Structure 1
Amino acid sequence: MEANLDKPNDARPVRLRRHAVWAAALASAALAGCSAEVLSSTAGPAPKEVLTETWTYINNEYVDPKFNGQDWWSVRQTYLEKPAETSEQVYEQIASMLKTLDDPYTRFLNPKQFKSLQTTTSGELSGVGLQITLDTESELPVVIAAVEGSPAFRGGVKARDLIVEIDGRPTKGQALDDVADRLRGKIGSQVNVGLRRGERTFDVTLTRETIQVNPVTSQLKRLDGRPIGYIRLSQFNGNAAQQVRQAIEKLEAQDAAGYILDLRSNPGGLLEAGVEIARYWLTPGQTVVYTVNRQGERDQARAQRAPLTARPLVVLIDGGSASASEILAGALQDNRRAQLVGTKSFGKGLIQAIHPLKDGSGLAVSIARYQTPSRRDIHKQGIEPDVKVELPKSFSLEQLATDADSQYQAGAKALSRALASSQ
């Protein structure tokens, strides 16, 4: 887009369905510990053009029309006047400019990071598999979730762990991009990550590797002598909706009497995937989610066709269930379509649009808040389950959906009651 050098009027309302939007817990969350091909920043537009392009997107779309209490035009002028000779210097200025918004989800992505984000949403990434955001109180990076099956997941890293050191160097006050860069490295190399969990501080050593993100696994299980469908959804990437649909259709053909949908440690992803999966369970006309833009105008996504199944449903959530996971869980809870079992979700209620910029870099900008069908704003609040159950501290990936999985067992009991009442 061409930058407007005249001071603009207030932008028109953003209609979310015209955007490719990202509802992950952090727009570049999956970049932590990921590597990608480095794109050259020596060619392309003049350095300051990218700053102006970034400023214009924020001016036209940012969810807070007061820009965190700033005169956004004056901010533009301040940063345009700063000297910069290289793209790297401009990138630092852009990051500094965006930091004034005090919104960790509105972030600039250099070409390397933007390439990694595109790879992540397509279903592949490499690194240690950590998804992070910034804990503003401690000024430390905090784990949203470890990608299922990743080195971080196998190493026992959990949601809400604070990252205090990487290879012996403190992380406090560092930009998330810098933290992510330090977690990246050659596949097969190791990184030592210092973590704080409550009052306990400890280290884990992780070996970087290529991670294949297959977001859906499913299984026909038995409950009280009847077949039930178990669907595990670990991420809302570009493959998620189709794979969930295929899982439901297969389990329906196997006469599943009910379902347990597992969204634990699912940090979110593509908003459209979350909405589409909600529609698989809801009846036409039921609200999936409201989105509220900077003008306070509310847009609405509804179920549009007959559900794939009307059988009883239980959803498992925890503190790593964020954003698109919360959209799905909130829609099913508010429409009384499912009971939620587990622990309170993460609490991320902002939606980002992802924009490619002229030089191969990118921008994630918060363009709206979302509300559940009952118009709950869950940002920084999370969603409380209907049945609260903690996992044992010694719980491991291999114990998912087994007798050792206390949340799954509680979900099975809830489903058993629902099946009994539906007869």
Structure 2
Amino acid sequence: MKRLLLMVTCALVGAALFFGVERVFFKEDQANTEVSETLVKLQKAQDLITESYVEQVDSNELLDGAIQGMVNSLGDPYSVYMDEETSKQFEQSLDSSFSGIGAELTKENEDFVVVSPFKGSPAEKAGLKPNDIVKSVDGESVQSLTLYQVTAKIRGPKGSKVQIGVERGDSAKELMINVVRDDIPNETVHSDLIETNDGNIGYLEISTFAEGTADDVKESLEKLEAEDIDGLILDVRGNPGGLLSSVEEIMYQFVTDKKPFMHIEERNGDSEALSSPLKERKDYPIATLINGGSASAAEILAAGMQEVEGYALIGNTTFGKGTVQQSVDLGDGSQMKLTMFKWLTPNERWIHSKGIEPTLQVEQPPVYDLVPLQSAVVLKKGMNDEKIAVLQNMLKGLDYEVDRTDGYFSTSTEKAVQTFQKSVGLKANGEANTATLTELDKAIQTFKDNPENDHQLQSAIEYLQEE
């Protein structure tokens, strides 16, 4: 039996995540005559190159190039061909624990785009953001590489460093982000009990949809419900997706059978509806946190919660991944993953490249968008540099008074640095040296880790209290 996959992206962590489910959706090949004509044409081209090209060529490389060319001509970042070597590396990464930077990468047109860093991963800590465009790895351009070649360059052993050059937003200047590779934890569910004056609210964070995630969600939910919760927050921010079977089982716990929670559509318009067997919805309100790093399976969950049960989505518009891939073994160790289907929301909307808009749009504090500040030179009064603009925004985000954020190191900036240095026990000379920048990065991370500074989380708590 062939395996249907809803491919999320290629993973920078050394593993790629897929929606996987045992379903058969195969079409017959085209008429034998058409196939024969195509093969004759390909054979002629191969013979011509093999016999007449100015240099000797490897016929296997020609074949790989032909297949790769056909896939590339589709212009679809989710359809990929992997030769035998790449396929082995890929399968090994799926079957074992992995180390890397902890982020998801996809290809859009000619750009390699970060879908999302995993929460708490080296990539997130180093400052990679959803929609960053990867331009270089360790100083080498990735322009001519395939998606899997880029991820292979980024992968590496625990403790090793990789420098990733990215473009962000409207800035044309390449931003260099240094990441120390590490083991990526397999734990995909985190739960907590939030005590408020109006009762207890359960919190369930799902970082990916992997094997065992549904069981962990069920176990965590039972423990929270034993505390007599008055509401529940599901957090799939930064969740790049995962196994369809996993999100399916999770949907069974939250949405009822009154309408399908998703549809899988073939190119001829025929579709299959997937429904939950649940008869009665929870007796407490639920809110789901989403952002631009919520993709694929996370979007299936968000759409189901919103369109089946009317639960609120809080945060930012999701990534927008709405296609389905079929994984096919080509018989010689190579394989192809080809986009064959779309998935649609309960209301039969295709959210591909659009994402899902939240019920309640909530922006995070600007500090959340800042990258850790790394500088080879000491930043001091009178200098003018983009890194100083980051420094000023960091200080401002931590409530230190600065008069400007344009990159000019003013007297006000110097005083703010001195005040910060005193607060962390450093020599208060007003110059941003390595020690100062390190402590500043720590302060920013502490700010982000404080739930009270998480505007989206706090909005979800307030929303549930009003329900």
Same fold flag (TM > 0.5):
yes
Residue 301 (str. 1) matches residue 271 (str. 2)? no
- Structure 2 match to 1:321: 294
What TM-score, normalized to structure 2?
A: 0.72
Determine the C-alpha separation between the residues in 1 that align with 2:64 and 2:225. Answer: 51
Residue 22 (str. 1) matches residue 2 (str. 2)? no
Determine the C-alpha separation between the residues in 1 that align with 2:90 and 2:281. Answer: 31
Residue 403 (str. 1) matches residue 452 (str. 2)? yes
Residue type at the aligned position of 1:410: S
Work out which of the two has the higher radius of gyration on C-alpha atoms and give 1 or 2: 2
- Measured after TM superposition, the shift of residue 356 of structure 1 is 3.8
What TM-score, normalized to structure 1?
A: 0.79
- Structure 1 match to 2:145: 174
Residue type at the aligned position of 1:205: N
- Say if 1:61 and 1:117 are closer, same or farther in 2 by CA, change over 3 A: farther
Q: 1:290 aligns with which of 263, 269, 275?
A: 263
- Measured after TM superposition, the shift of residue 241 of structure 1 is 1.4
Determine the C-alpha separation between the residues in 2 that align with 1:61 and 1:311. Answer: 48
8 A contact 1:25–1:144 mirrored in 2: no
- Say if 1:305 and 1:59 are closer, same or farther in 2 by CA, change over 3 A: closer
- Measured after TM superposition, the shift of residue 318 of structure 1 is 0.5
Residue 34 (str. 1) matches residue 18 (str. 2)? no
What are the within-5 Å matches in structure 2 for residues 28-177 of structure 1? Answer: 29-30=10-11, 32-34=12-14, 60=27, 79=42, 81-82=45-46, 85=58, 90-111=63-84, 113-115=86-88, 117-118=90-91, 124-136=97-109, 139-177=110-148
Determine the C-alpha separation between the residues in 2 that align with 1:242 and 1:78. Answer: 52
Which has the higher relative contact order, 1 or 2, with Cα contacts under 8 A spaced 6 or more apart?
A: 1
Residue 351 (str. 1) matches residue 324 (str. 2)? yes
Residue type at the aligned position of 1:196: E
- Structure 2 match to 1:250: 223
Using the aligned pairs only, state the percent identity.
30
8 A contact 2:83–2:334 mirrored in 1: yes
- Structure 1 match to 2:381: none
Determine the C-alpha separation between the residues in 1 that align with 2:92 and 2:360. Answer: 36
More deviation, 386-395/256-265: 386-395
Figure out how many residues of one structure are paired with residues of the other and give that number.
369
Q: 2:192 aligns with which of 199, 202, 219?
A: 219
SS in 1 for 2:366: coil
8 A contact 2:2–2:328 mirrored in 1: no
- Measured after TM superposition, the shift of residue 187 of structure 1 is 3.3
Unaligned runs of 5+ in 2: 17-23, 51-56, 369-443
- Measured after TM superposition, the shift of residue 325 of structure 1 is 0.8
Determine the C-alpha separation between the residues in 1 that align with 2:181 and 2:291. Answer: 26
Residue type at the aligned position of 2:137: I
- Measured after TM superposition, the shift of residue 361 of structure 1 is 3.3
8 A contact 2:231–2:286 mirrored in 1: yes
- Structure 2 match to 1:413: 462
- Measured after TM superposition, the shift of residue 72 of structure 1 is 8.4
More deviation, 235-244/117-126: 117-126
The 4+ residue runs of structure 1 with deviation greater than 6 A are 71-75
- Structure 2 match to 1:387: 360
Determine the C-alpha separation between the residues in 2 that align with 1:197 and 1:292. Answer: 34
8 A contact 2:188–2:209 mirrored in 1: yes
Determine the C-alpha separation between the residues in 2 that align with 1:323 and 1:73. Answer: 38
- Measured after TM superposition, the shift of residue 274 of structure 1 is 1.8
Residue type at the aligned position of 1:230: Y
8 A contact 1:24–1:270 mirrored in 2: no
1:61-99 Cα offsets, whole Å, 9 max, x none, are: 89xx9xxxxx98876655554357465554343222211
- Say if 1:229 and 1:35 are closer, same or farther in 2 by CA, change over 3 A: closer
- Say if 1:219 and 1:102 are closer, same or farther in 2 by CA, change over 3 A: same
Determine the C-alpha separation between the residues in 1 that align with 2:88 and 2:450. Answer: 35
Provide the alpha-carbon RMSD of the alignment: 2.9
8 A contact 2:99–2:156 mirrored in 1: no
Unaligned runs of 5+ in 1: 1-17, 37-56, 66-70, 419-423
Determine the C-alpha separation between the residues in 2 that align with 1:190 and 1:114. Answer: 25
Q: 1:265 aligns with which of 238, 243, 249?
A: 238
- Say if 1:313 and 1:360 are closer, same or farther in 2 by CA, change over 3 A: same
Determine the C-alpha separation between the residues in 2 that align with 1:211 and 1:379. Answer: 28
8 A contact 2:313–2:359 mirrored in 1: yes
8 A contact 2:203–2:233 mirrored in 1: yes
Determine the C-alpha separation between the residues in 1 that align with 2:59 and 2:224. Answer: 56
Residue type at the aligned position of 2:115: I
